[in-house]
Amino acid sequence: MSSDVILPGATLGVMGGGQLGRMFVHAAQRMGYFTAVLDPDPASPAGLISHFHIQTDYLDEQGLAQLMQRSAAITTEFENVPAPALVTLGAHRPVAPGAEAVGIAQDRVQEKAHFVRCGLPCAPHAVIESAAQLASVAADLLPGILKTSRLGYDGKGQFRINSPEYTDAAWAAVGPSPAVLESFVDFEREVSVVAARGVDGSFVHYGVIENDHKNRILDVSLAPARITTKTAAEAAEIARTVLTALDVVGVLCVEFFVTHDGSLLINELAPRPHNSGHLTFDACVTSQFEQQLRAVCGLPLGSTELLCPAAMANLLGDLWDKGEPDWAAGCAFPAIKLHLYGKLAPRRGRKMGHLTALGENAEEIVRKARLVLTENVGSANENRTRI
């Protein structure tokens, strides 16, 4: 084994303190590592459970210096960590994924250009830098979705343009910064491939996961996806190409549209563990978070075997509209696993946790379990008060 391997007992740094960081910290602590999280939020989910919480901005020089001092290696929890911070950290410590890969995934203009350079299939699109340019866009790109080049996720920073008369409204909503207009894809389903690449170039993937969105936020994920063996193999090979071309070390998710004829179009990249891969925590030999750790530390990558069919349902802050959900009712389903992220303030659309279920009827079970969480909220809260 290489002398560069980082063994248990070392401290691993995490840029970002959200739920992905929290689950990475859980995986690291279970394997005997210490963790240091840098996040400005004093109540960040990962910061609350990490051994060290450096509460500074992501570009704060003293905070970055402290993270470097404590950490043997550093990873990122979300793709919008400023790339310059990763450049600074990478000059002194192993950082995975690297600043270049993160920088490309942060910017849709660069991301689309990268797909084209690599000959990877993506939707017809155009880079838009002004209202005039949008108004004169080629007719075959409409209807389309105008997306901000940077800082868009979960449907934020997007505007659908059905016909030319909507271009002014779209630019007002998304501009004045550069954007990408993507021709609308009439897809059959959305899928993702969560994959990992080691320092030695080794590659593994978790198969193809099927994703159902509501209001542009992931609602339910199902593994394995209901697609042909041929399409699944093509998706995995595209994911391999993406990770290799970006020289990624760590976990990266490739999101796809599957068209009605079974063709694949890349939607976007997430250079980190991904919401659709949360079910790997319960359903796979090695979770995506342990896999991220293994890659960052130079350990051999773990088995991605799916032990049985599985599904994951997001728990958004909307469920708290009438009070605390009835967790006991949801956990009454024997196949349900409950994961809460420790976020103190529920808000509509905010990801507060998720449910996973294992078995042939996993998708039906997670949907039903989530539904019953709110069926007896009033009486459940009353019982808690009495206790």
Same domain, 191 and 303: yes
pLDDT of residue 177: 83
- Has residue 228 got a pLDDT over 50? yes
Tokens linked to 297: 């530390």
E-strand ranges in the chain read 11-15, 34-38, 52-54, 73-76, 95-96, 125-128, 144-148, 158-161, 179-183, 187-197, 203-214, 217-223, 250-259, 264-270, 310-316, 336-340, 351-358
The model's confidence at residue 248, banded by pLDDT at 50, 70 and 90, is: very high
CATH of the domain at 18: 3.40.50.20
Q: Tell me the residue length of the chain.
A: 387
- Cβ pair 228, 212 in contact under 8 A: no
Q: How far apart are CA 69 and CA 79, in angstroms?
A: 23
Torsion of CA 70, 75, 79, 84, to 10 degrees: 50
Tokens linked to 143: 């209807």
CATH of the domain at 156: 3.30.1490.20
E-strand ranges in 42-178 read 52-54, 73-76, 95-96, 125-128, 144-148, 158-161
Tens of pLDDT, residue by residue over 183-201, are 999 999 999 999 999 999 9
Domain boundary among 183, 200, 224: 183
Would 387 be classed as within a structural domain? no
Same domain, 242 and 171: no
pLDDT of residue 323: 93
β-pairing, 250-259 vs 264-270, is: antiparallel
Mean pLDDT, rounded, for 170-175? 84
Same domain, 175 and 199: no
| Among 315, 377, 371, 323, CA closest to 340 | 315
Same domain, 320 and 363: yes
Cβ count within 10 A of residue 9: 9
Tokens linked to 146: 């105008």
pLDDT of residue 156: 65
Any idea which of 9-13, 38-42, 46-50, 160-164 has the lowest mean pLDDT? 160-164
Would 315 be classed as within a structural domain? yes
CATH of the domain at 202: 3.30.470.20
Tokens linked to 290: 């342990």
Domain boundary among 96, 113, 143: 96
- Has residue 43 got a pLDDT over 90? yes
Same domain, 59 and 145: no
- Has residue 261 got a pLDDT over 80? yes
Higher pLDDT, 163 or 331: 331
Would 163 be classed as within a structural domain? yes
What total of structural domains would you count in the chain?
A: 3
Q: Using alpha carbons only, give the angle 246, 200, 273 rounded to the nearest 5 degrees.
A: 55
Would 296 be classed as within a structural domain? yes
Domain boundary among 43, 77, 96: 96
- Has residue 53 got a pLDDT over 70? yes
Same domain, 205 and 286: yes
- Has residue 384 got a pLDDT over 80? no
Grouping H, G, I as helix, E, B as strand and the rest as coil, residue 268 is strand
Would 105 be classed as within a structural domain? no
Whole-number average pLDDT of the chain: 93
Same domain, 53 and 198: no
Mean pLDDT, rounded, for 270-288? 97
β-pairing, 179-183 vs 144-148, is: antiparallel
Would 107 be classed as within a structural domain? no
Would 54 be classed as within a structural domain? yes
Alpha helices by DSSP H, 91-163 = 99-106, 108-117, 131-135
Mean pLDDT, rounded, for 36-56? 98
Q: How far apart are CA 267 and CA 254, in angstroms?
A: 8
Residue 40 burial class via C-beta count within 10 angstroms: exposed 0-12, middle 13-18, buried 19 and up? middle
Same domain, 192 and 307: yes
- Has residue 387 got a pLDDT over 50? no
Would 256 be classed as within a structural domain? yes
Same domain, 194 and 142: no
Same domain, 154 and 196: no
pTM: 0.93
Same domain, 273 and 328: yes
Q: Give residue 156's domain range.
A: 124-183
Same domain, 335 and 193: yes
Q: How far apart are CA 25 and CA 41, in angstroms?
A: 16
- Has residue 3 got a pLDDT over 70? no
